[in-house]
Structure 1
Amino acid sequence: MRDRRLSILLIFLAAWIGWFVLQTILDQSRVASLPRTVEISGPYSAKEGIVEASRIAALWDPDCQLQCISMTFGGDTNTSDPGMGKDGLPIPPSGWMYRFYSPKRGWFLDLVLWPDGRCEPSSFNGINYPDTQPLPQVFIDSTQAIAIAEELYGQAYREQGEVFRVPTRLTTWPSSVPGPEDPLRGRATWQIHYLSTREQDRVDLFLTLDAVTGEELCAVENVNTHITVLSDNFGHRGR
């Protein structure tokens, strides 16, 4: 009886692996057929690239959902290129990554749109992300998000030390940085990260904004691994 159960388990496992390999091959084929150039170029805001990214993503899956937009750094890491400008536009050669999710297949598609008109698609299985939520139809653009961040903290950080990177993303996933947790699961937020140096210290600022209203939700400063919560407006309640 035990041998029979083991045999059934092995058969099931082999079938699952075979199905997963087949799905991977099929998705790689879909990705390989996607366009490698886009009809938009130069520095543009997060929203300005959505139409073109959605057009390409629809070829991969007509029912896929936009789940995340993030700045993709393309510059020289040995220079002080921050990647994201104070105007909310990526500084070439940096661009935007648009992440789409296919609920029926459980796969993600990442489309990196570079300012020279190139498109780099890739995909991965979303088996570890069962609770992913699409972005809302209405949200503030990167230009507005960065303007708010600059007014709140960014300008002061630039005055106190050299800002050498500004990773920026719009997502419904919770922030992975230390600090207060958002009590509202699946809330769309702009997560803006200022990396700077101040005298001999590495200073990181993690700023979270409500992507719909622009409200400051949380700000955390990390100086040489010493964490300070600058603001916590979550209120630890849903809405």
Structure 2
Amino acid sequence: MDGWMILVLIVLVASALQTSTGFGFSIVGTPFLLLLYPAHTAIQINIILSLCLSTFMIYKIRREVDKDLLKRLVKGSITGLVFGIIIYLYLNVQLLKMLVGTFILILTVLLILKLKLTQTNNRDLLTGGISGFLTTSIGVPGPPLLLYFSGVGAAKAVLRSTTLAYYLVVYFVSLVLQISFGGTSKETWISAVIALPSLFVGIVLGQILFKWISPKTFQLITYIILIFTGIYLIVTSM
């Protein structure tokens, strides 16, 4: 019962952050879920709930989606999704967490130092590929998108809506691949169902917060999320 209460709290906070900023559910949720569940179970719970969140939210904000950008991200993700499922099934997840955590921290420092990027079609494809790889491997697609869009100065509304639409695609494909090749468990689905009410409460809270978050605050939240994620991934990989 205590584990379920912690699960509900994690999902509430993560969904509110995701809905208000466009990022955060997997970045915040997955590390804490890994404290409660085995790796594959935690990753699948995160993907199921993230898919539910994206499905629920996308209708309301669909008009803000940059469709051309979305197509490039999805196209780029295809190769990454395939390689990611190989990592998920066979390779050392601890090593991957160490590498990803280090990568996030280095790039976050560059962003804090005001690194600016120019958005190009090829970079959109590459970002989608890296994100797809991280989705099927560890269930965390957000860091590459967050780093890239922060660097190019993407508008907050477009960023939130386009990433949600992208998540809808890559989470669905990732879940199908993981279940097809690695199976699933009863515990995964029971836990996801238990967490659904707190997910919807978090969505409502996040929509309220979205109206009050200034660009400067949004940027600060971005840095905090990235630093926390990078440090956590490194620490838990040791």
TM-score bucket of the superposed structures, by smaller chain: under 0.3
Where is the helix percentage greater, Structure 1 or Structure 2? 2
User: What's the TM-score once normalised by structure 2's chain length?
Assistant: 0.24
Higher-Rg structure is 1
More strand by proportion, 1 or 2?
1
Higher relative contact order (CA 8 A, sep 6+): 2
TM-score, normalised via structure 1 length: 0.24
